[in-house]
Amino acid sequence: ILPLVSVNQILLLLLVLTVCAILYNKVHQVPLALRNETVDLESPEEMEEEIPVVICAAAGRMGAAVAAISSIYSNTEANVVFYIIGLKTTIPHIRKWIENSKLKEIKFKVVEFNPMVLKGKIRQDASRPELLQPLNFVRFYLPLLIQKHDKVIYLDDDVIVQGDIQELYDTKLAPGHAAAFSDDCDLPSTHEMVRSVGMQNTYMGFLDYRKQAIRDLGISPSTCSFNPGVIVANMTEWKHQRITKQLEKWMQRNVEENLYSSTLGGGVATSPMLIVFHGKYSSINPMWHIRHLGWSPDARYSEQFLQEAKLLHWNGRYKPWDYPSVHTDLWENWFIPDPSGKFKLTRPDS
């Protein structure tokens, strides 16, 4: 039999060990944020939501895509990833341009667009052949090109972003809406510009109402149109509603019945979107899409109005990298010269 003093010592030792074990467990249950330890977590930038921005890089106008990307990157702290869509022949050029300029710090992915998906879906029209370029139809195929994001921004290449792209990305889409656009009747300040250059801003300017298929849609020809050069898209709804299939259906019907053409106001890429999204889209803040800057070499907005604008769009024939064009200083602020020297600005003294 152990002496009584030894038993007491053993019990005391067990008690001390039990207390130590309890304290150890409590310390290690303290939240990581309160412990003075080095923990291998993702950086704040990696945890921040990515904002995917889709821009096309077409041959002959790659400087446009570069300027648009430069303006976005310079005016935001958001975690933007650029999806630059090009044809196989143009991809090496745009990649070299980015990697050998101050844009080398951006996050970007170059995606090849296969024009074969358009076979049999585009009606040839010689009046404005530039509107038939394959990359004009990239916006129809967003879910096929950009697969890991639920919400995507699509921008035409002839834009400059002066605001924080996070604001545009935060555009609220109503339940059941696959996209948000800017109405062509939304800003009183643009109405005078539209009237002065004779631009159409209703469905009458895009669809041929002499055709029965168009009249059967039941859409009033005086309905305000929208501009799909800036899109905030919900990819889940887009896929659920089979938007791409709907757009392709109207492209094929146009080939067969000539329901719209590039001789009308919006060419062949806007018209099917006007049909498919009629009455089923949300609105973008008007200041996030100030357009018609390329519609006439003479029509100008006030400088104060343009300074307040969040996004400028040179839609129309007169592009800011060509001559003649207007408000070119606002565009050139963001242009980055081509390191290869292939793309050059057209100016009066060049």
What is residue 184's predicted lDDT score, i.e. its pLDDT? 85
Percent of the chain with pLDDT strictly greater than 70: 80
Mean pLDDT of 215-226: 95
> Pick from 155, 192, 137: which is nearest to 288 by CA?
155
How far is 122 from 254, CA to CA, in rounded Å?
A: 8
Angle (CA) 142-116-268 rounded to 5° is 65
Mean pLDDT of 309-337: 96
Percent of the chain with pLDDT strictly greater than 90: 69
Kindly state whether residue 18 falls inside one of the protein's structural domains: no
Kindly state whether residue 135 falls inside one of the protein's structural domains: yes
Look at the chain and report how many structural domains it folds into: 1
Kindly state whether residue 3 falls inside one of the protein's structural domains: no
Kindly state whether residue 85 falls inside one of the protein's structural domains: yes
pTM of the complete model: 0.84
Q: Say yes or no to pLDDT of 1 above 50.
A: no
Kindly state whether residue 240 falls inside one of the protein's structural domains: yes
Q: Say yes or no to pLDDT of 39 above 70.
A: no
231-283 pLDDT tens trace: 999 999 999 999 999 999 999 999 999 998 655 555 689 999 999 999 999 99
153-193 pLDDT tens trace: 999 999 999 999 999 999 999 999 999 999 988 666 666 66
Mean pLDDT of 10-37: 55
Residue 31 pLDDT level (bands cut at 50, 70, 90): very low
Domain housing 112: 51-185+199-333
Kindly state whether residue 286 falls inside one of the protein's structural domains: yes
What is residue 9's predicted lDDT score, i.e. its pLDDT? 72
326-346 pLDDT tens trace: 999 999 999 999 999 999 999
CATH number at residue 319: 3.90.550.10
What is residue 225's predicted lDDT score, i.e. its pLDDT? 92
Kindly state whether residue 194 falls inside one of the protein's structural domains: no
Kindly state whether residue 338 falls inside one of the protein's structural domains: no
What is residue 345's predicted lDDT score, i.e. its pLDDT? 97
189-205 pLDDT tens trace: 666 665 555 567 889 88
